[in-house]
A = this chain, B = another copy of it.
Amino acid sequence: MLKLLLQLDSSRLPSVFDQVVAYDAGADRIMSEGGVTENEVRDLVHGCIFTRGPKDLKNTAIFIGGADMSAGEKLLAAANKAFFGPMRVSTMLDSNGSNTTAVAAVVKITQALGGSVRGRRIVVTAGTGPVGTRAAGLFAKAGADVTITSRKPEDGERVSKEICDRFGGTVHSVPLREASQAAGAIEGNEVLLNAGPAGIMLVPRAAWAGKAKVVVDLNAVPPLGVEGVEVNDDGATREGAIAFGALGIGNFKMKVHKECIARLFSRNDLVLDAETIEDVAKEIMKK
């Protein structure tokens, strides 16, 4: 029986990234739906649960993506609401790689800090997007003192509240509009995680060199986001800090992402979101 993955994407054009990874992780066929809204989920989910017998439901699964994290969360909630009793399939939420990339960075950083982030000061630059919010949330949940930066102060405040509502813990926000303000915005933090957009250098070398203990850049498109970190860094020493570049994190993220897709088809009742994906990443890290 074919392993069928239903891709529910909140963006109009279903993510190509998510499709390629799903195929490479063993999905036999992908059914892609784009621009999906909450109200449309039930009928699509019924197509998953009413077509195959209870024993075969594990061969169908749902992957939720798209550029908008909160839209993705609504789709996940709607999907799980459409299930009843044993009539369900496994689901995974990873809007714009938010959960898998954030988890990969968080697990790598935690390991670099000796196994715990409790009480550590961590700043996530450009941290209001899908990846930044998930990383900030997981750090906050684990007891770190987290700050996110945002171009607009009001966005930062709103998002930091949303993160605390979802994950618990403490998240501050500070404004950071351009590279020249980076030094001030990130001062006093031991860990720098840049979640800024592709092709934009947001943190100059002078802003972090000699201060940060761990520095991570998730931008893979030159110019890179943190000056002085190389895209392939995977624990390299840069200016005295342990550094990770986008591909260094990305390689681990891909392992986590693929392992999660594979697990979706191992049973019919998994819900893979930030915390459960972090559990998967920790298991992989131990091997």
Cβ of A190 within 8 Å of any chain B Cβ, yes or no, is no
Total copies of the chain: 3
- Option from B24, B36, B40, B46 in Cβ contact (under 8 Å) with A17: B46
- Shortest distance from the beta carbon of A34 to any chain B beta carbon, whole Å: 8
Tell whether, in the assembled complex, residue A23 and residue B4 are in contact, meaning their CB atoms are under 8 Å apart: yes
Residues of B near A19 (CB, < 8 A) are 4, 31, 47
Tell whether, in the assembled complex, residue B13 and residue A6 are in contact, meaning their CB atoms are under 8 Å apart: no
Cβ of A209 within 8 Å of any chain B Cβ, yes or no, is no
Is the contact region of chain A dominated by helix, strand, or loop, or is it mixed?
mixed
Some 25 contacts from A to B, beta carbons below 8 A apart, are: A1-B24, A4-B19, A4-B20, A13-B33, A14-B31, A15-B47, A16-B31, A16-B43, A16-B45, A16-B46, A16-B48, A19-B31, A20-B31, A20-B52, A23-B29, A24-B51, A24-B52, A29-B29, A30-B31, A31-B32, A32-B32, A50-B220, A50-B250, A84-B221, A84-B222
Residues A1-60 near B (CB distance < 8 A)? 1-2, 4, 6, 12-21, 23-24, 29-33, 35-36, 40, 43-48, 50-52, 60
Residues of B near A35 (CB, < 8 A) are 12
- Option from B20, B33, B47 in Cβ contact (under 8 Å) with A47: B20
